[in-house]
Amino acid sequence: MAKKEITSFSEFWPYYLGEHRLPRNRILHYIGTFLSITLLIWLILAQKWWLLPLVLIAGYGPAWIGHFFIEKNRPATFTYPFWSLAADYKMFYYALTGRLKHEWPKYF
């Protein structure tokens, strides 16, 4: 049976949460998100544009390690790159503000 194609971010968010159930995977995502934001700000301030690809490595490296070795699933980035990036930031923000723990009961 084929999976239903996701056509909106509101449909994607529960799928994304389901792919990030393990706390260690989420911690790696938070580390990557924090590193990528910090590095991006520094690169902009320092005007070192040629180093921008490092932002992707800093952000996706820890997250992909979390998926392949901890969660043992395929990163959503491969199928839904823009929604996945938006959901990374949403999950990071929700974790920082304490809202993430209230999201799980809505969907699982």
Whether 74 maps to a domain, the answer reads yes
pLDDT in tens, the chain (108 residues): 556 789 999 999 999 999 999 999 999 999 999 999 999 999 999 999 999 999 999 999 999 999 999 999 999 999 999 999 999 999 999 999 999 999 989 988
Whether 3 maps to a domain, the answer reads no
Other Cβ atoms less than 10 A from the Cβ of 55: the count is: 18
Give the model's pLDDT for residue 36: 97
Burial of 36: CB neighbours in 10 Å, binned 0-12, 13-18, 19+: buried
d(Cα 57, Cα 76) in Å, to the nearest integer? Answer: 16
Burial pattern 8-23, b for ≥16 Cβ within 10 A else e, equals eeeebbebbbebbeee
Q: What total of structural domains would you count in the chain?
A: 1
Give the model's pLDDT for residue 48: 96
Give the model's pLDDT for residue 108: 83
Tell me which residue range forms the domain holding 38: 20-107
Whether 1 maps to a domain, the answer reads no
